[in-house]
Amino acid sequence: MNKLKKTDLIIIAVAVLLIAGIVLSVIVNSKGKSTVSGVPESEKKTLTYDEYNGKRAGIKTGSSFEPITFDKFPNSEYFYFDTDSDLITALITNKIDFFLEDQPVAAMEHLQQNSVDYLHEPIVNDDYHFGFPKDNDRSELLQSQFNEFLAKYKSDGKLDELKYKWIEGEESKKVINTSELSGENGKLVVAVLPDHIPFSYLANNQLVGYAVELTLEFAKEYGYSVTFEQANISSCLAGLASGKYDFFATSLSYTEERAQSIDFSDIIYNGGVVLIARSTDLSIGDDTKTEKASFFSSIAESFKKNFVTEARYQLILRGVGTTCIITALSVIIGSLFAFFICLFRRTDSLLANKIANLYVKLLQGTPMVVLLMILYYVVFGKSGINAIWVAVIGFSLNFAAYTSEILRSGIESIDGGQREAALALGYSENQAFFKFIFPQASVRQIPVYRGEIISLLKNTSIVGYIAIQDLTKMSDIIRSRTYEAFFPLIATAIIYFILAWIISLILNLVLKKIDPRAKKAKTAKEAIAK
């Protein structure tokens, strides 16, 4: 039997660790589910807002809850998170003790996850709006049309019907008719949050919600077609301020600071801000019973909830496809660009050399997420170019900078005497390079090149910042519906591991094909066999 190679041992070790993690997590999570029952209302003591001052507070990055949290809970320690699902997960796992949320969102989150609850009396009353870009003729027209539509919708009683449908209505009726969008007056690019129940979220692989349907009804009324772009609140606000989006359809609270960079529609919903905490923390004196679940039933239930219900596995498959497309195109384009940068750096031209060096240093010194956001919101802000192509451009530029260094180092590691020998035999400079120098350098470059591709693959997990639904973002969306962190995140980790393994296998095969030593060994084996 052949001895296991080092890479095989690493793969086996990682697989064992992943399986052990799954087993451990399921054991921990299957110990029981808490249900509150059997305590008379007179014996319960409900905590107040004041009693949460000094406890650990979660804050959604870029939200209007930040100043309220600072004002009402000055003695608390603050922790920032990007999404509602991250906040819920942090709350359930005892990383934080509470966070603030819009009342209708809090009500839906409690229905989805009964281990969290909220104080029903708002800490502040609030009104919600859609957001529009500032100082823009098209934006002013859209804002005027939307306010006119909103006034008519309110007077007809249709807005109240829409509120009831999405806040209190039956789940089976929470569907949207996306037909009848003529598009005769152009297309609207609308920013939404993909995990903001009940305003905008994914259900049965379709974007639905109160804000989504309100947007579509407005588009039907005024002859627009609609393209929704899903991102976190910080990215949506940045895109709105830069004019990337026609408007932001969400429960946007008015603040003086926001009003300096964006305009607000008339009120779309009268609400308030409430405190969300663990259900067991909100009431003291509860008789908590624990229902034990078996190990295998817990696995089956979590698997079904995260991947089978509403065909959520399709979200993972779509995310994998997007991640693979971005990675493959970035590697191909970036490799070609890297080769030309490398040639530039090897020329005798001082100017070409300085330009190439500056490019490499600039790209290596810029964080990838910053580069993506500059390209998406500034460079291509109003171009209408697809976000996936923006990601491909960004990762190609970054990959080219690092790969050009790999190519240069590999080429310079080849003894200069080989070039001189090739020239002495009558070969031209180009022939000497492509026939002798570059093939030998490639053998030394591929192991490092493989690592750079795998790094690129993993770095694509940040593309959610520019409204791309890749593998990581789809995992976040599933978590926003199930409020279970483990299964979606472990599935994501395993898929990235498998993709990285496939890349390693492919490049190992390429290395065997071009490595002279491997060819000689193969020839020797064939000769012995004969």
Taking the C-alpha atoms of residue 503 and residue 509, their distance in angstroms, rounded to an integer, is 10
Burial class (CB in 10 A: 0-12, 13-18, 19+), 343: middle
Question: What is the CATH class of 313-529?
Answer: mainly alpha
| Fold (topology level) of 126-270 | D-Maltodextrin-Binding Protein; domain 2 (3.40.190)
HEC string of 75-139 equals CCEEEEECCHHHHHHHHHCCCCCEEEEEHHHHHHHHHHCCCEEECCCCCEEEEEEEEEECCCHHH
Element at 480 (helix H, strand E): helix 471-482
Q: Phi then psi for 259, rounded to 5 degrees?
A: -65, -15
Q: Where are the domains of the chain?
A: 1-30, 126-270, 313-529
**How does pLDDT run across 449-496, given as a tens digit for each residue?**
888 999 999 999 999 888 888 998 888 888 877 777 777 888 888 899
- Say whether 313-529 and 126-270 share the same fold: no
Half-sphere exposure of 417 (CA within 13 A, CB side): 1
For residue 310, the Cα-to-chain-centroid distance in whole angstroms is 20
**How does pLDDT run across 280-300, given as a tens digit for each residue?**
888 644 444 445 555 567 677
pLDDT at 520 over 60: no
Taking the C-alpha atoms of residue 504 and residue 414, their distance in angstroms, rounded to an integer, is 25
Q: Are 484 and 92 in contact (CB under 8 A)?
A: no
Q: Are 495 and 262 in contact (CB under 8 A)?
A: no
The token pair that represents 4 in the structure block: 């296991």
Q: Dihedral through CA 390, CA 392, CA 394, CA 395, nearest 10?
A: 160
**How does pLDDT run across 384-395, given as a tens digit for each residue?**
788 999 999 999
pLDDT of the residue at 291 = 54
**How does pLDDT run across 322-370, given as a tens digit for each residue?**
999 999 999 999 999 998 888 887 777 788 888 888 988 999 889 999 9
For residue 163, which of 51, 82, 251, 284 has the smallest C-alpha distance? 251
